Structure 1
Amino acid sequence: MAALLVFVSLLTVLVSLLYYISQKKLGYWEKRNVPYVKPLPLLGNYAKYMLQKQYPGQLLQELCKRFPDRSYFGAFFGTEPVLVVNSPELVKDVFTKDFYYFNGREVSDYVEKELATRNLFFASGDRWKVIRQNLTALFSSSKMKKMFYLLEKCNHTLEDMLARETSIDKVLETRDLGARYTMDCICSCAFGVDSMAMGKEPNNVFKTMAGQIFEASNTRGLKMILRAAWPGLFYGLKMQLFPPTIDEFFSKLLKGVFESRNHKPSPRNDFVDLVLTFKNEDNLVGDSISNSKTGKDDKIKLKVDDDLLVAQCILFFAAGFETSATTISFTLFELAKHPAVQDKIIAEIDEYVVRQKNKLEYECVNDLPYLDAAVYETLRMYPIFGILTREVMDDYKFADGVQVEKGLRVHIPVYHFHYNPDYFPDPEEYKPERFLPENKKDVKPYTFFPYGEGPRICIGSRFAKMQVMAGLITILKEYRVELADDMPKSLSLDARTLLIAPREQGLNIKFTRREGSEQRKWVRT
């Protein structure tokens, strides 16, 4: 009983403190003559998201519609003021032109609190710049082409898995299907290990780790919200966003791969080889991020330790499989709803298979323009991140004179841009034609963000596109897809996860083997 009273007392004090802070900050935008939405106490304008009732991209879309003629407006994420940038011109300033001032993501002061967040995705400033420069070479077009043979083998395994599992049940959950395929791809291409995620074993350790990283639960959702809104409180209470088992697993994985290669780079030229090169040096060296502002050529040294390397390892695994799996599954979902689009893609794929004599090649990335357009249309309708966040890293003044201080949050409403009829007519309709080569010029710059934009654009976008295209070709050369009987045509989106996902149901798709599919199997050498 005494313990309960202490807990209730502490909770009361905590809520009172947050309420006081909230009231103190409510005048932030009014003092700056910036239009804003009147917030609720504590929860601000993001209440439906913070209560896990609404996908944040759709919530911000609703706020943007209140200010159709404004380039930006003010809002509150919990008790914290947020500038929502609502015009392509200002997004360009934030993402590219004045990147130095907006180079960080939110809560940049807290990325060192967990090993799993000490990676390129969460980093900012000089640390981000140095890591980015040193990792960029791994994702060049020439490197992608050299490692495609590994991806080809993964597609052979995908071909086998589809044959095995559709013989048992024609209805497959495509989020799981896509994740198992892309997990195999990233483990092979980045770490040189066979994840066996496409095998028969249900308790696969890589799938277990994936589940811990992208756990979709009320508890994880609440943790993400608390960390984003009140990071000082979150870490002050000794909370962690990710369980320590993730750090331990990837630390052991890297150590094992290092030992298998005798701690020397191999001819594979993969992520592990690059990490081994880093490990054999004391420091990573790169440009200072302030050079773009000062015009100088200052260099920064970043000490290499195991934590730095393991953190990048976790990022490569997580980003390498989940984002592409999401795109594959939503593309199959849309094709199942649009048989005419599927017919065009199948015809294009069949021509490719004949032309290539049943050999999957790296050129598939660029040789199927309609499939490519369909993937981009999927990324428009289901952007990986519905909101992209930035943090003001140094005091900044916009062209119209509005001053924003260091530490302020900036939200880019990606979902709103992608569904804005001024930029994409009939935005609710799935129309791959928008992204055919002859039509791409009509897409206004800084209104479409499939992989982000500016210097922080996704470093692995080439790899993502490569495995998505290859996987869809492998699937559709042999199967037609349609919605399962229990699968609705419209989806509610989950408010509890980092990436876009359906709220309740999986994406259940029926796979029907196409006539002549045996003649379209991949040649294996």
Structure 2
Amino acid sequence: MLSSLVAIVLVLLSYSIWRRLKLFRVLWKAGHVGPRGNIISGSYFEMKRHGCLILFEKWFKEYKSDTIGFYYGTQPFVISKNLDLAKQILIKDFQNFKNRANNSPLEAAHPMIGAHLLFTNDDRWERIRNFMTPSFSTVNLREMFTRLTKCMDVFMENLEVAPLNSIDVYPLIRRLTLDNIARAAFSVATNVQENPFGSPPKFQIAAERSIDLWGSHWLSPVALCLRPVGQFLFRKLRAMGLVEHPQDAMSNYMEQLTDLRNSSRKIPGGPQSETEWVDFMQNLINGARRETMDSRKFHRHLGFKLSRNEVVGNCLLFFLAAFETTSSALSFLIYSLAREPEIRARLRHNLQKSLEETGYELSYDFVMNHRYLDMVINEGLRLYPTANGFLGRATIRDYEYKGIKIPAGVDVLFPAFHIHRDPKNFPEPEKFDPERFSPDRKNQTPSLAYLPFGAGKRSCIGNRFALMQMKQLIARIVLKYDFHLVAEKHRGPLKLTDRAFVLIVPGEGIHVKLVPI
């Protein structure tokens, strides 16, 4: 009996090892160069130790290729700076790459997070996106702009009481961005900006913890190296209350807010009509109450209306997608402008001149249509594309383009940071030069060399909301203050931190000296 059991275990173990070895030959059989890693974790721990910004650049140089194969846990990846390949995969052959790369197995195992736009696939993704798209119409963005203005008024008041000789703008901008999202998307007034230099309130702590993503969770290596085992353990232990996901607190908050919004229609004195709430959350709640013409084309088993999990999950996604990316992008822009007094002065002059012509109103149309402001923002996003790891796609069927073979099941990633800093795409790539995006020069940029919001049908759905925030804040700061870096805080190159293979954030803050104008 015992010998039979041992034999079965040995057979299963041998089969598992054979399967693992076969998996780790997929990329090399397809002809990809790159690090071998190990059959347990691939290059996961090397990426954890060095970060993808440093490691990807090292691999591109070491293997002398713009397309590299590696394993993130057991998931085979191809990273590429080949713009022709990017155009094929992201746009022309989209149907074979319509799903995002899933380098976050614990996210997909979460009931709310697994239901949002980032982690849904095929028809379900398209159906949810159709429900979400109207939230970012020009009419809705104008309404959001008015709400953002109130948040930014508080931010500018906080700058007035800040120590002007040295201030780290990054934590202040994080508070502002959190306030912006809560007011514009959920009609919620927060207190996150009330005591800007004190301890963060609970809501902010929950939001910041959620941005830790899956990388800091102790089950993350298990899920990446033994995906079914890690996901099973996470679901079971979470159901037993033995583990928490970093995003549980914000997920619970979104559930409560959704339920409160639903019940408020029945409370005396509460809103009696769906039209009394005009924001992102209400648009999704409306999608849970009634079907749309677009929703009818999807398979009946998907449901014509949004489920509760889909409503909550996509409200949570708004926070996750808009919070850290916008905060970091704005902070990087302040850093870049603080190093360039001539560009700063030109932007201020252009803004002042345009305001004189439009009656001194910093309106939605003004900031969204100001050419030089747009050039400055675009160049900031080129140098520091904060959502660096979101341009991954899953390969549905075996694929080949000009000798580059990508087997089914392999994820393909186009790292925006490295594409943006490739001198073949942008000469003197380290230089902050808004003129790259002038009408005369922007057409010289190769197609798909600029990818801060992705490309194709799965590009960022909220890009105009992000740009609206960035343009309004940069315009207001530049018009009121001159500023430069605090030398003792920024002696060398800016330290960048990449979080969980996805986000780029300031590693040690952005310290500036403000001079009122």
TM-score, normalized by length of structure 1? 0.83
Partner secondary structure for residue 83 of structure 1: strand
- Matched with 1:182 is 177
Shift, 1:379, TM fit: 1.1
- Asked if residue 245 in structure 1 is aligned to residue 249 in structure 2, the reply is yes
Letter in 2 for 1:276: I
Shift, 1:46, TM fit: 5.1
- Asked if residue 278 in structure 1 is aligned to residue 287 in structure 2, the reply is yes
1:324-343 maps to which residues of 2 (within 5 A)? 324-343=326-345
- Matched with 2:51 is 55
Q: Is the 8 A contact 1:57 1:386 kept in 2?
A: no
Of 125, 128, 135 in structure 2, the residue corresponding to residue 128 of structure 1 is 125
For 2:435 and 2:301, locate their aligned partners in 1 and report how far apart those are by CA, in whole Å: 45
Q: Is the 8 A contact 1:258 1:272 kept in 2?
A: no
Q: Deviation digits for residues 18-45 of structure 1, max 9, x if unmatched?
A: 9876544332233233444443453434
Letter in 2 for 1:116: I
For 2:308 and 2:82, locate their aligned partners in 1 and report how far apart those are by CA, in whole Å: 42
For 2:130 and 2:215, locate their aligned partners in 1 and report how far apart those are by CA, in whole Å: 37
For 2:308 and 2:346, locate their aligned partners in 1 and report how far apart those are by CA, in whole Å: 49
Q: Is the 8 A contact 1:118 1:311 kept in 2?
A: yes
Structure 2 residues not aligned, in runs of 5+ = 1-12, 235-242, 265-269
Of 470, 482, 496 in structure 2, the residue corresponding to residue 493 of structure 1 is 496
1:307-326 maps to which residues of 2 (within 5 A)? 307-326=309-328
- Matched with 1:5 is none
- Asked if residue 65 in structure 1 is aligned to residue 65 in structure 2, the reply is no
Q: Is the 8 A contact 1:250 1:313 kept in 2?
A: yes
Of 503, 511, 515 in structure 2, the residue corresponding to residue 512 of structure 1 is 515
- Matched with 1:233 is 229
Q: Is the 8 A contact 1:212 1:242 kept in 2?
A: yes
1:424-463 maps to which residues of 2 (within 5 A)? 424-463=426-465
Partner secondary structure for residue 388 of structure 2: coil
Partner secondary structure for residue 437 of structure 1: coil
Letter in 1 for 2:57: Q
For 1:177 and 1:346, locate their aligned partners in 2 and report how far apart those are by CA, in whole Å: 22
Shift, 1:288, TM fit: 6.8
- Matched with 2:24 is 26
Identity %: 24
Letter in 1 for 2:506: P
Shift, 1:393, TM fit: 4.8
Change (3 A) 1:355 1:185: farther
Shift, 1:470, TM fit: 0.3
Partner secondary structure for residue 216 of structure 2: helix
Of 171, 189, 199 in structure 1, the residue corresponding to residue 166 of structure 2 is 171
Q: Is the 8 A contact 2:30 2:406 kept in 1?
A: no
Superposition RMSD in Å: 3.1
When the two structures are aligned, how many residues end up with a matched partner?
Answer: 486
- Matched with 1:210 is 207
Letter in 2 for 1:60: F
Partner secondary structure for residue 326 of structure 1: helix
TM-score, normalized by length of structure 2? 0.84
For 1:284 and 1:263, locate their aligned partners in 2 and report how far apart those are by CA, in whole Å: 25
Change (3 A) 1:180 1:33: closer
Structure 1 residues not aligned, in runs of 5+ = 1-14, 290-296, 515-525
For 2:495 and 2:19, locate their aligned partners in 1 and report how far apart those are by CA, in whole Å: 34
Of 31, 37, 40 in structure 2, the residue corresponding to residue 39 of structure 1 is 37
Q: Is the 8 A contact 1:278 1:284 kept in 2?
A: no
Partner secondary structure for residue 307 of structure 1: helix
Q: Is the 8 A contact 1:83 1:410 kept in 2?
A: yes
Q: Deviation digits for residues 226-248 of structure 1, max 9, x if unmatched?
A: 54554323223326643422221
Letter in 2 for 1:439: R
Change (3 A) 1:245 1:30: closer
Q: Is the 8 A contact 1:151 1:185 kept in 2?
A: yes
For 1:174 and 1:89, locate their aligned partners in 2 and report how far apart those are by CA, in whole Å: 39
Letter in 1 for 2:516: R
Change (3 A) 1:437 1:225: farther
- Asked if residue 255 in structure 1 is aligned to residue 264 in structure 2, the reply is no
Q: Is the 8 A contact 2:41 2:225 kept in 1?
A: no
